[in-house]
């Protein structure tokens, strides 16, 4: 977010569906009233404190960012930005602001811990590290726990005791407990289930298979086009497509790709096609009735995308699973 500080009279800034990771450089936008940062990659929730200088800011949208999943996210933002009147489309009541301010210190502590974890994961992603390493704070805690365990072990064996059947039984119990603890630590922990929809019904963007994609809007035909780079030689039977009015979900060999759509679509009129040459999956999703078609001089315009190999191709249809709600 650069070169925006001179826009003194800017009242509404929409930066949704970008690659923003930190909120910054908006202090000079003195007239800013509404800021939309929907579906970005903001993990440093503490960066919202830079918006304190924007005293006229009334509406803020952070839905779809990693920080919006933090425990205490809403309370932290409400207490930090006292000028806000609406967060993620929900009005902030006076009682909610009072409660948020009362527990701000505790909420800030929890948020900082989660932010540190997110920043550490992001650094691993930049390095291409897919290992199970942990952040420095967790490493320190693990080292302290190991040192305490070693000290207790040394104290147990170095403490003098009488040579009796009871002392022998106590040593046996100690060794047995240690053996069980080692066996328990070696047990494979079940992988936590990926959260696709939060408890409050909010749909998340997920890309477990790390597939590149392109979402474009066909203005002439009033529809959305999602081009997903599915593995070229993978059998179509390993694909499962589920289109909902507000999002689409594709299962690729058991790995989920889920994308929140910018407009409502008609699932029963949608079509899924698989390229016979590149293997790409093309989803054609007509807009729902009542959606306003925008004006655009070109036939289609990109909404969000990742790198794709473009070019003419032949597609063949296959079974599409959908639910009408």
- List the one residue out of 252, 250, 115 whose CA is nearest residue 196: 250
The continuous run of DSSP H or E covering 99 comes out as helix 94-102
- The whole domain housing 268 covers 206-322
Comparing CA positions, the residue from 27, 104, 92, 19 lying closest to residue 60 is 92
Answer whether residue 51 is part of any domain: yes
Q: Tell me which residue of 206, 225, 207 sits closest to 215, measured CA to CA.
A: 225
161 assigned to some structural domain: no
pLDDT in tens, 169-199: 888 888 888 888 888 877 666 666 677 888 7
116 pLDDT above the threshold of 80: yes
pLDDT digits (tens, 9 = 90+) for 232-242: 888 888 889 99
User: pLDDT tens digit string along 118-128?
Assistant: 888 888 888 77
* Res 314: pLDDT: 44
* Domain contains 84: yes
114 and 211 housed in the same domain: no
Q: Residue 132 pLDDT > 60, yes or no?
A: no
Is there a domain that residue 123 lies in? no
Choosing from 118, 150, 182, the residue where a domain stops is 118
Q: Residue 86: which CATH number?
A: 3.80.10.10
Which of 123-137, 178-192, 283-297 ranks highest by mean pLDDT? 178-192
pLDDT above 90: residue 161: no
> Could you report the per-residue pLDDT of 54-74, keeping only the tens digit for each?
999 999 999 999 999 999 999
User: Cβ(54)–Cβ(85) under 8 Å?
Assistant: no
In a domain, 135, yes or no: no
In this predicted structure, the answer to whether residue 317 has a pLDDT above a threshold of 60 is: no
Does residue 265 form part of some domain?
yes
Final residue in a domain of this structure, among 118, 142, 157: 118
Please state the domain count of the chain. 2
Tens-place pLDDT, residues 88-112: 999 999 999 999 999 999 999 999 9
Q: Are 245 and 267 in contact (CB under 8 A)?
A: yes
Domain co-membership, 107 together with 212: no
Domain assignment present for residue 253? The answer is: yes
Given 84, 118, 152, the domain boundary residue is: 118
What is the chain's mean pLDDT, rounded? Answer: 82
Indicate whether 85 belongs to any domain. Answer: yes
**Most confident listed range (53-57, 138-142, 308-312):** 53-57
Any idea what the CATH number is for the domain that residue 268 is in?
A: 2.60.40.790
114 and 16, same domain (yes or no): yes
Q: Tell whether the model's pLDDT for residue 40 goes beyond 70.
A: yes
- Nearest by Cα to 195 from 184, 185, 208: 208
Tell me 287's DSSP state. B
Report the pLDDT value the prediction gives residue 6, as an integer from 0 to 100: 86
Choice among 48-52, 141-145, 294-298 with the minimum mean pLDDT: 294-298
């Amino acid at each position: 977010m650069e070169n925006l500080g001179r826009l003194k009279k800017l009242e509404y800034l929409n930066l949704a569906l970008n690659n923003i990771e930190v909120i910054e450089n908006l202090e000079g936008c003195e007239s800013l009233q509404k800021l939309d940062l929907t579906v970005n990659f903001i993990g440093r929730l503490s960066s919202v404190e830079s918006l304190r200088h924007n005293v006229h800011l009334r509406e803020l949208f952070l839905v779809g960012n990693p920080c919006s999943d933090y425990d205490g996210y809403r309370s932290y933002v409400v207490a930090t930005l006292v000028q806000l009147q609406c967060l993620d489309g929900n009005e902030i009541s006076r009682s909610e602001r009072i409660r948020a301010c009362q527990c701000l210190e505790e909420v800030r502590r929890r948020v900082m811990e989660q932010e540190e974890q997110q920043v550490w994961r992001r650094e691993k992603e930049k390095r291409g590290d897919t290992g199970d390493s942990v952040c420095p704070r967790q490493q320190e805690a693990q080292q302290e726990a190991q040192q305490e365990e070693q000290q207790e072990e040394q104290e147990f064996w170095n403490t003098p005791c009488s040579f009796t059947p009871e002392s022998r039984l106590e040593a046996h119990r100690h060794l047995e407990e240690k053996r069980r603890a080692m066996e328990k630590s070696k047990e494979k922990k079940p992988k936590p289930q990926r959260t696709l929809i939060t408890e409050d019904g909010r749909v998340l963007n997920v890309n477990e298979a790390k597939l590149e994609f392109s979402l474009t809007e066909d203005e002439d035909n009033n529809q959305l086009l999602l081009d997903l780079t599915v593995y070229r030689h993978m059998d179509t039977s390993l694909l499962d497509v589920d289109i909902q009015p507000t999002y689409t979900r594709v299962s690729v060999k058991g790995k989920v790709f889920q994308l929140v759509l910018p407009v409502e679509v008609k699932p029963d009129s949608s079509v899924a096609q698989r390229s016979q040459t590149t293997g790409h999956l093309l989803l054609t999703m007509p807009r729902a009735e009542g959606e306003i078609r925008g004006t655009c001089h070109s036939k289609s315009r990109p909404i969000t995308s990742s790198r794709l190999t473009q070019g003419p191709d032949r597609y063949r249809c296959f079974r599409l699973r959908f639910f009408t709600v």
